Structure 1
């Protein structure tokens, strides 16, 4: 799988996150601050890596993003990563690992493996059906990472 778009999406995100580092942010009511956005992304990355390795291991796998939106889990992730710099480093490393996994480890048949997927945003169910691993990775590159990059940049405004 060609992961150039995914690498570019991570670079843009990390550039935006570095620009925001140390700046006070005041998100709109009910929205995340910069560290919470980064914690969410780190959790999504970890879940996507776990999914890919489960597929490679021949295990039963599913993909559910709800834990990546839980406020106490976000706070714990921020604390364990050591704050903003640690989150950015974690996202960079996980992004590299995901690009390697999708681009060089998983075979086409594994990338095309549909897995039960539940994706929610707030209280809205976005996806509740089997989705191939390839489409999950592509969705990160074309939608998820760019959307959160824009969200980070909007905090500066």
Structure 2
């Protein structure tokens, strides 16, 4: 699997996270009501990465593990991840290491492994988005094409007015 798009999506996300951390609003600007803070967004991504890495490793060992994103949206779990990682800077470091691991592993998977159907449950904002098998390659591509860019935009939306959002 060519992981160029995934690496680029992670780089763009981490650049946005660094921009937000260095903005006038401080390392974790206050989000609008009902939205996540920068640290919560990064914790969510770190949890998704861990879930994705677990799934990739399970497929590589021929023991498919379901992909379920519910814990990555749980507030208590997000707060625990923030604490365990040491805040925004630690989360950025964790995400960078996870990105290297995921891109490295994904680049070694065979076509058969990438085509392996993975039972998938995806929720967003408490609403069911998907409950069906998805090929492993589709889960990985979904990170690059949708999940990471969406959270990059979410991070940049936390910047105060007038602060350049270019990353």
TM-score by length of 2: 0.91
Choose which of 81, 85, 90 in structure 2 pairs with 1:86. 90
Who is 1:118 aligned against? Answer: 121
Displaced runs of 4+ in structure 1, greater than 2 A? none
Q: Using the TM superposition, give the Cα deviation of residue 15 of structure 1 relative to its aligned residue in structure 2, in angstroms.
A: 0.2
Choose which of 73, 78, 96 in structure 1 pairs with 2:100. 96
- Taking the TM superposition and a 5 Å limit, the aligned residue runs for 1:1-150 are 1-21=1-21, 23=26, 24-104=28-108, 106-150=109-153
| Long gaps (5+) in structure 2 | 161-167
Instruction: Kindly provide the CA deviation profile for residues 36-86 of structure 1, in whole angstroms up to 9, marking residues without a partner as x.
Output: 000000000000000000111111311000000000000000000011110
Instruction: Write 1 or 2 for the structure with the bigger share of helix.
Output: 1
Instruction: Kindly provide the CA deviation profile for residues 91-110 of structure 1, in whole angstroms up to 9, marking residues without a partner as x.
Output: 00001111011112x21101
Q: Using the TM superposition, give the Cα deviation of residue 116 of structure 1 relative to its aligned residue in structure 2, in angstroms.
A: 0.6
Tell me, in whole angstroms, the C-alpha distance in 2 between the residues paired with 1:114 and 1:88.
30
| Long gaps (5+) in structure 1 | none
Single out whichever of 4-13 and 16-25 deviates more from structure 2.
Answer: 16-25
Q: How many residues align?
A: 156
Q: Secondary structure at the match of 1:118?
A: strand
Who is 2:163 aligned against? Answer: none
Q: Is the 8 A contact 2:122 2:130 kept in 1?
A: yes
Q: Secondary structure at the match of 1:129?
A: strand
Tell me, in whole angstroms, the C-alpha distance in 2 between the residues paired with 1:81 and 1:136.
25
TM-score by length of 1: 0.97
